[in-house]
């Protein structure tokens, strides 16, 4: 088997399932750490700050630090700053998104005449916020969606995700968003821009065929599907196959 240098690891369904720990996922990270192989937790979650992700992982027995966390929030600021030296943004989102975007002095919040409308998961979403976003997009602001997840699994429930909210804004504004998070190649490309590794060195690891594995397809990175989360083996029969499929990550030799 090919020896990978950098593992891009999903969280929900891979390391934990809500409050439950997925032991094979936690062991996988420990095995990487023992072998001194590099890894980044690549999540589509935009509500948490990197430190909040680190703290959540600690609760599941994973010791790591913020250098090993990469979110669509970080890829979004990187994307915006690759387009503009300074940018005014209208933000719909939670602390993870606000903190990251406004940590850059070149990016400022503007609800009058923004260059970008950035939409991430916001459980305090209001009609007013949607209306403001639509007005700015209709006036020419670029529409960015942090991630396109239509649903978020929560216990037995499938909650409306950011992709569903973006659909509403898309329909009302007549503009499609540019999505940054998985399955977009943008999040992987932005991460690799600041890393010493090339795509051939990387393996993207996750439980979701449509987000994790497609992020691999879209960015040209090999992929490993673990069947510990949303997908079962039959879900991918007849479809383009990941590089590897395992029942759980204990099966994957390093
Ligand atoms: Mg997942």
What CATH architecture is 78-179?
3-Layer(aba) Sandwich (3.40)
Question: Residues marked as binding for substrate?
Answer: 182
Active site residue 201: no
Residue 141 CA to ligand 1 center (angstroms) comes to 31
Residue 107 CA to ligand 1 center (angstroms) comes to 30
Range(s) within the chain of domains with CATH label 3.40.50.1000: 6-44+182-251, 78-179
- Closest by CA to 75, choosing from 229, 152, 178, 209, is 178
Q: Tell me how many helices (H) and strands (E) the chain has.
A: 8, 15
Class of the domain covering 6-44+182-251: alpha beta
> How confident is the prediction along the chain (254 residues), in pLDDT tens digits per residue?
789 999 999 999 999 998 899 999 999 999 999 999 999 999 999 999 999 999 999 999 999 999 999 999 999 999 999 999 999 999 999 999 999 999 999 999 999 999 999 999 999 999 999 999 999 999 999 999 999 999 988 888 889 999 999 999 999 999 999 999 999 999 999 999 999 999 999 999 999 999 999 999 999 999 999 999 999 999 999 999 999 999 999 999 99
Point out the catalytic residue in the list 10, 122, 201, 212: 10
Residue 197 CA to ligand 1 center (angstroms) comes to 23
Active site residue 10: yes
Residue 118 CA to ligand 1 center (angstroms) comes to 22
Question: Residues marked as binding for Mg(2+)?
Answer: 10, 12, 207
């Amino acid at each position: 088997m090919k020896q990978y240098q950098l593992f891009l690891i999903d969280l929900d369904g891979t390391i934990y399932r809500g409050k439950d720990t997925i032991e094979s996922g936690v062991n996988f990270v420990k095995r990487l750490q023992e072998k001194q192989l590099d890894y980044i937790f690549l999540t589509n979650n935009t509500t948490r700050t990197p430190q909040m992700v680190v703290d959540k992982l600690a609760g599941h027995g994973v010791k790591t630090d913020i250098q090993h966390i990469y979110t669509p929030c970080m890829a979004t600021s990187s994307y915006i700053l690759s387009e503009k030296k300074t940018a005014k943004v209208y933000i719909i989102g939670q602390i993870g998104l606000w903190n990251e975007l406004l940590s850059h002095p070149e990016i400022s919040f503007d609800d009058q005449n923004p260059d970008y409308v950035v939409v991430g998961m916001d459980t305090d979403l209001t009609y007013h916020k949607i209306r403001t976003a639509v007005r700015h997009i209709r006036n020419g602001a670029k529409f960015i969606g942090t991630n396109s997840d239509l649903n978020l699994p929560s216990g037995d429930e499938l909650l409306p995700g950011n992709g569903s909210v973006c659909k509403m804004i898309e329909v009302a504004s007549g503009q499609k968003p540019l999505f940054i998070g998985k399955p977009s190649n943008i999040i992987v490309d932005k991460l690799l821009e600041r890393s010493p590794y090339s795509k051939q060195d990387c393996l993207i690891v996750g439980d979701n065929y449509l987000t994790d594995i497609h992020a691999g397809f879209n960015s040209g990175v090999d992929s490993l599907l673990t069947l510990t989360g949303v997908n079962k083996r039959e879900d991918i029969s007849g479809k383009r196959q990941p590089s590897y499929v395992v029942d759980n990550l204990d099966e994957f030799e390093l």
